[in-house]
Structure 1
Amino acid sequence: MSDWTEQLPDAAAAYLEGRRLDEVECIVADLPGIARGKAVPASKFARQAYFHLPDSIFYQTITGEWGEAAGEEGFIERDMILKPDMSTASAAPWTGDWTLQVIHDAFDRHGEPIPYAPRNVLKRVVKLYEDQGWTPVVAPEMEFFIVARNLDPAKDIEPMMGRSGRPAAARQAYSMTAVDEFGPVIDDIYDFAEAQGFEIDGITQEGGAGQLEINLRHGDPVKLADEVFFFKRLIREAALRHDCFATFMAKPIANEPGSAMHIHHSVMETATGRNIFSGPQGGETDAFFHFIGGLQTHLPAAVAVMAPYVNSYRRYVRDHAAPINLEWGRDNRTTGIRIPLSGPDSRRVENRLAGMDCNPYLGIAASLACGYLGLMEERRPSKQFRGDAYEGEGDIPRVLGSALDLWDEADALHDVLGPEFARVYSIVKRAEYEEFLAVISPWEREHLLLNV
């Protein structure tokens, strides 16, 4: 590892040019997508080919409790071997010294990938496409809210104060004036992204009060998931610099739209670079319809991964910019599956179900898995939906418990994502759900205490 700086991506090398690197953050995403790892001096990183963390980090709930997912040998917290992927080396420009972040991959003592490490789950799915001679391509859209600092969980979340001295206004979608209200925060987001070598395709104001969307350019699923993972952290850091919070909760403010991570999909023939969704004359192929059919068939069971928390299901509200069913339509934002306007070469399928609160590796993996199963099973979709899909029936689970029941029965999906991942995920998520059910909400105290 003595020459490891020669492996740095261009952006990381440019960030360090003429400077002395102080520290390297060795990180891995856990099930919720939180960065876990160790910060080590640069000199020590140069001497180490790997480091260790206990496998129990993947058994933790979002509250820091534990799911009983350790398996037959019990909760012995066996060490994993974490090896750096130097292509992910990226600046941490908000730190007080010169620091790099490096994403690591998790292996067991025999060199086998840890099956429930989220990045490994996504790599597994991508490999299945590659085995068929295909290259999957994705483009995620990130929605989030910039909100006022909230130090009391009992207090409602409120929009941040803009430059004008007024709270951010709702229902100002695509307003440049609304974007200008967040100018200093957005400036830091751009600066941090540039230092990290990320290309932003655009930032827009969404329909919620203080809600923004960042579009990323299409590309390799693992690389794009890495970017979303990094972006969540840099956006939070940019907001904190300006005395506000960035939140990726699916539904942080009642009566406002929720935040999604829409995922655009296309699939290329690896040998030719041809989009398999388009035929020689530019028409839609069987593969295009099979991919949609796979999403319609398997997404109900995958919702537990794309909507991983009890709050996630508050987003699926009729007429609130989130789907309530799995209809598909062309250039129709009321359907769960949308076919955007595009030419034959860029024909793609947009999955509008995933929430911004999902782990990006797992959300993208689950979406690709559903499409893959459709391709392999040659699934046909329902008839194209025309009109307002909110007038149709809902067919998405409305609570986490129901979603987990569907997940537990989804053997085909488990085979693609990995049976051991499916087992661990279910146990951890059910532990979280039980924690939530033990909490008495303000609504219950207000309406039940003296009335029932």
Structure 2
Amino acid sequence: MNDWTEQLPEAARQYLYGRKLDEVECIVADLAGVARGKAMPAAKFAKQTHFYLPNSIFLQTITGDWADIEGQAFTEPDMILTPDFTTASAAPWTGDYTLQVIHEIADQTGAPVPIAPRNVLKRVVELYNARGWVPIVAPEMEFFLVARNVDPAHPVEPPMGRSGRRAAARQAYSMSAVDEYGPVIDDIYDFAEAQGLEIDGILQEGGAGQVELNLRHGDPVKLADEIFYFKRLIREAALRHDCYATFMAKPIEDEPGSAMHIHHSVVDAKTGHNIFSEPDGSESRAFLHFIAGLQTHIPAVTAILAPYVNSYRRYVPDFAAPINLEWARDNRTTGLRVPVSEPESRRAENRLAGMDCNPYLGIAASLACGYLGLMDGIYPKDEFKGDAYASAEGIPRNVAEALDLFEAAPALHEVLGPEFCRVYAAVKRLEYKEFLQVISPWEREHLLLNV
């Protein structure tokens, strides 16, 4: 084997055992979480230590336009990308033997590019580490399998199951509902195994064709890498079976939306103990500080947790998506939930993030809120009792309002990075402006001849 292949994780080495590697995909996640980069023959990859991409990939909207950043010339300087071999993973859906490798991103002086989403998350994790803390996350991924939709003007429909009927809604936790699209699930498992990705469980959610995939807890950067990979492999598994997988927050009218619930705990780096629990097993003050940080600062990072116009269609009262900032123990109607657990695994669950957010940025934003709560030593409101769906709304309800709050949050800017926040806001403002130019079918139906 060549020297570089000896640095590969065990799963990647097993995938290549006795096979000839054909291609390497050198990738990074852009602001939307889309994989950008270059593919090259394995022989060429073996001969180079890095490659270049322009920084404009982080200035691009989801529609492909580029934002102008005030005071910054659009010269597209090159960034230097070097492979992080710990992320090397198979691309088992390809026709030949291909590896994917996520790359580190630095400027030409060697400093981390501050607007790269993976670097934003690393920055937040390093703030925890500087305090002697190790943040732990466990994400939950919700997504829909849907029928092929080649005409954007046509509504999205559930997929056809093996029974010959379309997937039905209101079948949460039904095993027979999962069996309806079992071949897709089987490929998800097979692809994940080939990539060395561990699945904690798969279940049917409440929407028609809606699936939830749980990941085990661990390092935030590693888990964000895995979600980045999972989104791609799930899409590929669906395409093999004549359907799409979508991570839109709200792809189907009158169905629940898809969330990325994030479970948080924090460990003392020296002792390995969960700082959310006291030695006697009771809840610590740090636990309440963390919850208070989420409660206080989530409105200002909603622009990250809910990045698109469609994201806010998920926030519908009494429709399985909390839109409040209440917290409670074992209560899924609150935006902030404390799951049932033993003291060593005590955690806080942020239920507000959408599955359409960039996993690096969504986790970074949630951790940033908790970090500020820990640093400021603040306390949350009293625990909510009862059905929080009936409580006051606590988050912005559209992109413009969310961006206003995001831009007026200097404490969060210091945690996430001022330059990143400036660029992110500019890109999202441009996306929203582009959306406002579109005339919807609703407008044509109800306004064309009536007003």
Which bin holds the TM-score, normalised by the shorter protein? over 0.9
User: How far 1:316 sits from its partner (Å)?
Assistant: 0.7
**How many angstroms apart in 2 are the aligned matches of 1:410 and 1:451?**
42
Is the CA contact 1:2–1:47 (under 8 Å) kept in the aligned structure 2? Answer: no
What's the secondary structure of 2:290's corresponding residue?
Answer: helix
Match of 1:133 in 2: 132
**How many angstroms apart in 2 are the aligned matches of 1:356 and 1:72?**
33
Return the letter of the residue paired with 1:125. Answer: V
Aligned pairs for 1:10-21 within 5 A: 10-21=10-21
Return the letter of the residue paired with 1:20. Answer: K
User: How far 1:105 sits from its partner (Å)?
Assistant: 1.2
**How many angstroms apart in 2 are the aligned matches of 1:189 and 1:420?**
37
Match of 2:409 in 1: 410
What's the secondary structure of 2:200's corresponding residue?
Answer: strand
Return the letter of the residue paired with 2:359. Answer: P
**How many angstroms apart in 1 are the aligned matches of 2:224 and 2:331?**
26
**How many angstroms apart in 2 are the aligned matches of 1:35 and 1:13?**
23
What's the secondary structure of 2:94's corresponding residue?
Answer: coil
Match of 1:43 in 2: 43
Match of 2:29 in 1: 29
Match of 1:228 in 2: 227
Return the letter of the residue paired with 1:190. Answer: Y
**How many angstroms apart in 1 are the aligned matches of 2:349 and 2:249?**
18
**How many angstroms apart in 2 are the aligned matches of 1:50 and 1:379?**
45
Return the letter of the residue paired with 2:182. Answer: G
Is the CA contact 1:143–1:248 (under 8 Å) kept in the aligned structure 2? Answer: yes
Aligned pairs for 1:39-118 within 5 A: 39-69=39-69, 72-118=71-117
User: How far 1:319 sits from its partner (Å)?
Assistant: 1.1
Confirm or deny that 1:422 pairs with 2:430: no
Match of 1:192 in 2: 191
Is the CA contact 1:292–1:371 (under 8 Å) kept in the aligned structure 2? Answer: yes
Match of 1:376 in 2: 375
**How many angstroms apart in 2 are the aligned matches of 1:101 and 1:386?**
47
Match of 2:299 in 1: 300
Return the letter of the residue paired with 2:10. Answer: D
**How many angstroms apart in 2 are the aligned matches of 1:391 and 1:239?**
37
Match of 2:237 in 1: 238
Aligned pairs for 1:377-396 within 5 A: 377-396=376-395
Q: Unpaired runs of 5+ in structure 1?
A: none
Confirm or deny that 1:315 pairs with 2:314: yes
**How many angstroms apart in 1 are the aligned matches of 2:195 and 2:141?**
17
**How many angstroms apart in 2 are the aligned matches of 1:396 and 1:370?**
14
**How many angstroms apart in 2 are the aligned matches of 1:104 and 1:386?**
46
User: How far 1:342 sits from its partner (Å)?
Assistant: 0.1
User: How far 1:412 sits from its partner (Å)?
Assistant: 0.4
Match of 1:4 in 2: 4
**How many angstroms apart in 2 are the aligned matches of 1:294 and 1:48?**
44
Q: Unpaired runs of 5+ in structure 2?
A: none
User: How far 1:379 sits from its partner (Å)?
Assistant: 1.2
**How many angstroms apart in 2 are the aligned matches of 1:44 and 1:372?**
43
**How many angstroms apart in 2 are the aligned matches of 1:400 and 1:385?**
27
**How many angstroms apart in 2 are the aligned matches of 1:62 and 1:2?**
38
**How many angstroms apart in 2 are the aligned matches of 1:414 and 1:349?**
23
Match of 2:360 in 1: 361
Confirm or deny that 1:212 pairs with 2:189: no
Match of 1:149 in 2: 148
What's the secondary structure of 1:405's corresponding residue?
Answer: helix
**How many angstroms apart in 2 are the aligned matches of 1:35 and 1:84?**
14
User: How far 1:328 sits from its partner (Å)?
Assistant: 0.3
Q: CA RMSD in A?
A: 0.8
User: How far 1:72 sits from its partner (Å)?
Assistant: 3.3
**How many angstroms apart in 2 are the aligned matches of 1:75 and 1:2?**
40
**How many angstroms apart in 1 are the aligned matches of 2:297 and 2:184?**
39
**How many angstroms apart in 2 are the aligned matches of 1:187 and 1:148?**
18
What's the secondary structure of 2:46's corresponding residue?
Answer: helix
User: How far 1:149 sits from its partner (Å)?
Assistant: 0.1
Is the CA contact 1:122–1:361 (under 8 Å) kept in the aligned structure 2? Answer: yes
User: How far 1:449 sits from its partner (Å)?
Assistant: 1.1
Match of 1:158 in 2: 157
**How many angstroms apart in 2 are the aligned matches of 1:231 and 1:29?**
13
Confirm or deny that 1:167 pairs with 2:180: no
Return the letter of the residue paired with 2:113. Answer: I
Return the letter of the residue paired with 2:387. Answer: D
**How many angstroms apart in 1 are the aligned matches of 2:323 and 2:90?**
39
What's the secondary structure of 1:200's corresponding residue?
Answer: coil
Match of 1:124 in 2: 123
**How many angstroms apart in 2 are the aligned matches of 1:426 and 1:21?**
41
Post-superposition Cα deviations, 1:211-235, rounded to whole Å, max 9, x if no partner, equal: 0000000000000000000000000
What's the secondary structure of 1:140's corresponding residue?
Answer: strand
User: How far 1:73 sits from its partner (Å)?
Assistant: 4.5
Match of 1:252 in 2: 251
Return the letter of the residue paired with 1:355. Answer: G
User: How far 1:389 sits from its partner (Å)?
Assistant: 0.3
